[in-house]
Amino acid sequence: MFTGIITDIGTVIHTEQRGDLKARIRTAYDTAGIDIGASIAHDGICLTVIALGEDWYDVEISAESIAITNIGRNMWQPGVKLNLERALKVGDELGGHIVSGHVDGVAEIVGMQDEGDSTRFTFRAPENLAKFIAPKGSVALNGTSLTVNAVDGCDFGVNIIPHTKSVTTWGAAKVGDAVNLEIDTLARYVARLQDWA
């Protein structure tokens, strides 16, 4: 489990397609404190560490993960920056919201407009996920816990403050970017219960 509070920006060093896709990620994390088998969220995708170096680690990415995330669009070319978050430990502060690291689909940035020092992003969600997004609800976008300001059909708006832009990859985002979307876990279960009602 994660909180959607990004704690590092990693960089893809290289990838290799052999069976599953393997990726090497450069990080500022102290890799001496990362175990083989640890879970780390990469732009919201929970992946397992399979090898470690002084300032890098390797992960394997299944075809299923590639198919439902933005990895399939950019294949994580060398130099790509990723929002990273280590798994939540018992006793950690829950600063965002509960995030599973299981991406539901890909949304697209369809608009950006400065509002004071913040930027209002407009996203278009896949139609099958739009019903789970509500004003003042939470979403995880590229692993970042964000609050929804407004919803209009499949489009929804989020304001991103300067601090968030400076400590995540959101400062380099642009219209047309594909972003990983994880709907709020609570919304998922409420919808499932309604199906049974």
Domain boundary pick from 86, 116, 144: 86
Say whether both 82 and 113 belong to one domain.
Answer: no
* Per-residue model confidence (pLDDT) at position 192: 66
Domain count of the fold of the chain: 2
Choose among 25, 20, 19, 59: nearest CA to 39: 59
Q: Which pLDDT band, with edges at 50, 70 and 90, does 197 fall under?
A: low
Average pLDDT, the chain: 93
Same domain for 177 and 133, yes or no, is yes
Cα–Cα dist 189/197, whole Å: 12
In a domain, 1, yes or no: no
| pLDDT value of position 195 | 67
- Domain annotation covers residue 95: no
| CATH number for position 22 | 2.40.30.20
Q: Which residue's structure tokens are 């930027």?
A: 119
pLDDT of residue 3: 92
The residue type found at 123 is F
- What is the C-alpha end-to-end distance of the chain, expressed in Å? 29
Residue 174 forms part of a structural domain: yes
131, part of any domain = yes
Helix, strand, coil share of the chain (percent; to 5):
20, 45, 35
Percentage of the chain lying above the pLDDT 70 cut: 94
Do both 121 and 190 map to the same domain? yes
* pLDDT confidence of residue 167: 97
Domain that holds residue 65: 8-86
Are residue 116 and residue 167 in the same domain, yes or no?
yes
Residue 91 placed within a domain: no
pLDDT digits (tens, 9 = 90+) for 35-91: 999 999 999 999 999 999 999 999 999 999 999 999 988 778 999 999 999 998 777
In this prediction, residue 94 carries a pLDDT of 73
Over residues 144-169, the mean pLDDT reads 97
